Structure 1
Amino acid sequence: MQYAPHTPLPASAPNGVTAGIDWASADHACCVVDAAGKVVKRFTVNHTGTGLTELTRRLAKAGVAEVAIERGDGPIVEALLAADLTVVVISPNQVKNLRSRYGAAGNKDDRFDAFVLADTLRTDRARLRPLTPDSPATTTLRSTVRARRDLVAHRVAVCNQLRAHLATAFPAAVGLFADLDSPISLAFLTRFDCQDRADWLSERRLAAWLASVGYCGRKTPAALLAHLKAAPHGATGADGTTRAHITRALLAVLTSLVEQIKTLEAQISEQLALHADAQTFTSLPRSGTVRAARLLAEIGDCRARFPDPASLACLAGVAPSTRQSGKHKSVAFRWAVNKQLRDAVCDFAADSRRANPWAAKLYADAIARGKDHPHATRILARAWLYVIWHCWQDGVAYDPAKHGALQALLRQDQQAAA
């Protein structure tokens, strides 16, 4: 297919003026320049509803139709878009390098950065693209997915803290079940939170308790009791009682995190099912629900943002950064990326090789060339993004029967088997 068209900025700014905004948590510095690069207005507004209203009013009064800013989301961007202003995002890394264009010191100053943004929008129009926001459905899904990921990180941290605590307070509880944060493990620790309570257990009592909570695991009551008896003895008496308070406190936090993660996963499932692009991402091998939602949320639904697969791969950080000067050429890891997108794409790619022969071969070939696991995963992720981009641009599901490289590999395997 042809690469997606992008909407460029007009050759000259409407009304001959451009604006730059250096945003902050408390206030925002704004600068307006004319067609010659001369400052015609400077002002600062507070980060409040009244302040944002004043910002759009003063920009309109100055004849501004285009605004450059360092971020592409948040209340200030929503206010600018609601006022029918064209928003152009210039990343902080670009602004840092652009400061040297206007002075050798390179000092950071909010008022100066606002001028740099406004003047860059005036002079570098051919290389800049207007911001096209994602749909509300995608924005909401992104917020939910990222919130879940943050809670998962908290769950892992609390689980590690509980494991470290149990190593001295009640070692037998560690490794009793497959996961320390599993429902059966949390239920066991709620009922038997110290060594003294666990010592009361016999095989018959343990079997009765397991039946009462509906345990249907692979371990028999005898095997579980043997684990409890073989483990180092934990704290007992007054010391055990004191440590049990800590156990219960950590359990309360961990249980709450597990419940809230499940709640967010249910919301993600519902939001994904209602999204217009859901089929493209749920059709990918081993994408599941949460993984597909992460890919969709981080890539978005604005096709103009990624006019070709290379632009998507670069933002995801799976394309290397090449520097060349004279005879010297270096290929390095790409740092200036969307880390959320890179994590989502690499997480999907790493697991896709278990269900897709083409992905498995790409990964294996990279390992055979001496690449480590993260590097091989990024190589596979870059290849997947070219496939995903075409499906995403066409709004179709991934079909293995139409994946040329996969089908060619399958034919080779059939011929070799014959």
Structure 2
Amino acid sequence: MLFIGDDWAEDHHDVEIQDEAGRKLATARLPEGVEGIAKLHTLVARHSGEDPESAQVMVGIETDRGPWVQALIAAGYRIYAVNPRQAARFKERYGTSGAKSDKGDAHALADMVRIDGDQLRPVAGDSDQAQAIKVVARAHQTLIWERTRAFQRLRNTLREYFPGALTAYASLELTSTDALELLLKAPTPEQAAKLTKQQITAVLARHRRRNRDQRAAAIQAGLREPQLGVAAPVAAAYAAAATAHANLLIALNEQIAAMEEQVSAHFLAHPDAEIYLSMPGIGAITGARVLAEFGDDPTRYTSAKARKNYAGTSPITRASGRTHAVHARHARNDRLADALHRQAFSAINTSPGARRYYDKQRARDAGYNPALRQLGNRLVGILHGCLKTRTPYDEATAWSHHATLATSA
């Protein structure tokens, strides 16, 4: 059995190979790519004894994705994606000075998988379909987050020279493409006040808005409201900045719509999509995000509790002496937590059982977010059962225990 610590960088990998006794067998700096992987395989073969085919190789590395990791998995190595925070804490046993080196990091990672391998989570063997869903789902969500940032910059710019636009376009939402096109047509208060109702209606019609005449009239009236202004040169400078932000938002809207189609297509082609879509509060986009972060390796989660712990929905207990407290988990997968929060929010409007469970938590004086988090925790457990038994969600079965308790009470 060989243990490898792999401290990776953008263009190279520092590796250390140890045997079961912790004896250092080899160290090397390998280039990224095919050449580096070939040299690593050569090192492994050199130190794996008379029967290289039967050697077990454990690799500790601070990432779980990329061509290098996939090549290691394809070679049959057991990969442990070590959290950088865990690695930093582990290295403190060597000294408290804070000294750092790439070789030292590789040594610590090799020691971690040798000593604490049972406490680490191996990289899941997700299917190619699940990995594809993860790529497009994360890209889609990242674009949405970028749009939010871009909108905040545009909003702050308008507040400084054209606050009337925020009020006038409120009914359209300023992130919508039609509102942005109107802003591009007239980026200054003077130009906006000259927009005709016909010009506004034409933009709304191109984007298939309903009640166009009433909306156009309201927008025109809002743009012509008197407001405090700034000097013409300053307004022109602000208008140039607002135009840049608006063009960026339009491009982001186009790419988000295109990526959404990719997310739906990849997700609906996955064999688990039917089970995910049967769950309350889950549509194609939310389902894709949840599947992407959970993965589809059937052996990854040994129990519903393990899946809940990974999701970050289950609480943590801090007990010491007479002190006993229960807290929410803050170290978690934020993308998965966001998707599960959205699912729980939607589920209380579509599932009577979920609604009863949520109301029960609120009756116990739980706040809005804690109650949604507890509902999300329950839904994760139900999802785990559905995936394990390969059966779609059933409302009566999922909440039968809680319904029985409510009837008895």
Deviation at 1:296, TM superposition (A): 0.8
Distance 1:180-1:126 versus aligned 2 partners, 3 A rule: closer
Match of 2:145 in 1: 153
Match of 2:22 in 1: 37
* Residues 172, 233 of structure 1: 8 Å contact kept: no
Partners of 1:121 and 1:198 lie apart in 2 by 64
Match of 2:110 in 1: 118
Pick the aligned partner of 1:165 from 144, 150, 157.
Answer: 157
Match of 1:307 in 2: 302
Pick the aligned partner of 2:280 from 278, 285, 304.
Answer: 285
Pick the aligned partner of 2:180 from 186, 191, 202.
Answer: 186
Deviation at 1:128, TM superposition (A): 5.0
Distance 1:234-1:132 versus aligned 2 partners, 3 A rule: same
Match of 1:196 in 2: 190
Give the TM-score taking structure 2 as reference length: 0.86
Pick the aligned partner of 1:66 from 37, 57, 64.
Answer: 57
Distance 1:200-1:27 versus aligned 2 partners, 3 A rule: same
Does residue 359 of the first structure (1) align with residue 354 of the second (2)?
Answer: yes
SS of the residue corresponding to residue 304 of structure 1 reads: coil
Distance 1:370-1:36 versus aligned 2 partners, 3 A rule: same
Pick the aligned partner of 1:57 from 32, 42, 57.
Answer: 42
Distance 1:230-1:279 versus aligned 2 partners, 3 A rule: same
Deviation at 1:179, TM superposition (A): 0.6
Deviation at 1:339, TM superposition (A): 2.5
Match of 1:98 in 2: 90
Pick the aligned partner of 2:67 from 75, 87, 102.
Answer: 75
- Code of the residue aligned with 1:396 in structure 2: it is T
Moved more, 71-80 or 258-267: 71-80
Deviation at 1:59, TM superposition (A): 1.9
Partners of 2:220 and 2:76 lie apart in 1 by 68
Pick the aligned partner of 1:139 from 120, 131, 135.
Answer: 131
Distance 1:329-1:204 versus aligned 2 partners, 3 A rule: closer
* Residues 285, 352 of structure 1: 8 Å contact kept: yes
Deviation at 1:226, TM superposition (A): 2.6
* Residues 124, 295 of structure 2: 8 Å contact kept: no
Deviation at 1:136, TM superposition (A): 1.1
* Residues 28, 44 of structure 1: 8 Å contact kept: yes
Moved more, 331-340 or 348-357: 331-340
- Code of the residue aligned with 2:56 in structure 1: it is A
1:368-407 residue pairs with structure 2 within 5 A? 368-405=363-400
- Code of the residue aligned with 1:388 in structure 2: it is L
Structure 2 runs not aligned, ≥5 long: 49-54
Could you tell me the percent identity over the aligned residues?
30
SS of the residue corresponding to residue 224 of structure 2 reads: helix
Deviation at 1:124, TM superposition (A): 4.2
1:204-219 residue pairs with structure 2 within 5 A? 206-207=200-201, 210-211=204-205, 214-217=208-211, 219=214
- Code of the residue aligned with 1:282 in structure 2: it is L
Per-residue CA deviations over 1:179-198 (Å, capped at 9, x if unaligned) read 10113212322323322332
Partners of 1:129 and 1:224 lie apart in 2 by 56
SS of the residue corresponding to residue 131 of structure 2 reads: helix
Moved more, 83-92 or 312-321: 83-92
* Residues 3, 58 of structure 2: 8 Å contact kept: yes
Distance 1:125-1:173 versus aligned 2 partners, 3 A rule: closer
* Residues 37, 119 of structure 1: 8 Å contact kept: yes
SS of the residue corresponding to residue 301 of structure 1 reads: coil
Does residue 298 of the first structure (1) align with residue 293 of the second (2)?
Answer: yes
Partners of 2:202 and 2:253 lie apart in 1 by 26
Partners of 1:132 and 1:210 lie apart in 2 by 48
- Code of the residue aligned with 2:346 in structure 1: it is D
Partners of 2:178 and 2:242 lie apart in 1 by 16
Query: Aligned-residue CA RMSD in angstroms?
Result: 3.0
Matched positions, count: 399
Deviation at 1:304, TM superposition (A): 0.9
Match of 2:79 in 1: 87
Structure 1 runs not aligned, ≥5 long: 1-12
Deviation at 1:103, TM superposition (A): 5.1
Match of 2:315 in 1: 320
Partners of 2:360 and 2:97 lie apart in 1 by 48
Partners of 2:336 and 2:259 lie apart in 1 by 19
* Residues 318, 379 of structure 1: 8 Å contact kept: yes
Partners of 2:342 and 2:8 lie apart in 1 by 33
Match of 1:5 in 2: none
Per-residue CA deviations over 1:272-328 (Å, capped at 9, x if unaligned) read 111111112122223122111101111110121111111111111111222333433
Partners of 1:332 and 1:209 lie apart in 2 by 50
* Residues 135, 301 of structure 1: 8 Å contact kept: yes
Per-residue CA deviations over 1:70-123 (Å, capped at 9, x if unaligned) read 332223211211222222334334333433555566754433333333334334
Moved more, 227-236 or 333-342: 227-236
Partners of 1:213 and 1:411 lie apart in 2 by 49
* Residues 196, 240 of structure 1: 8 Å contact kept: no
* Residues 276, 282 of structure 2: 8 Å contact kept: yes
Partners of 1:195 and 1:352 lie apart in 2 by 44
Deviation at 1:44, TM superposition (A): 2.0
Runs of 4+ in 1 over 6 A off after TM superposition: none
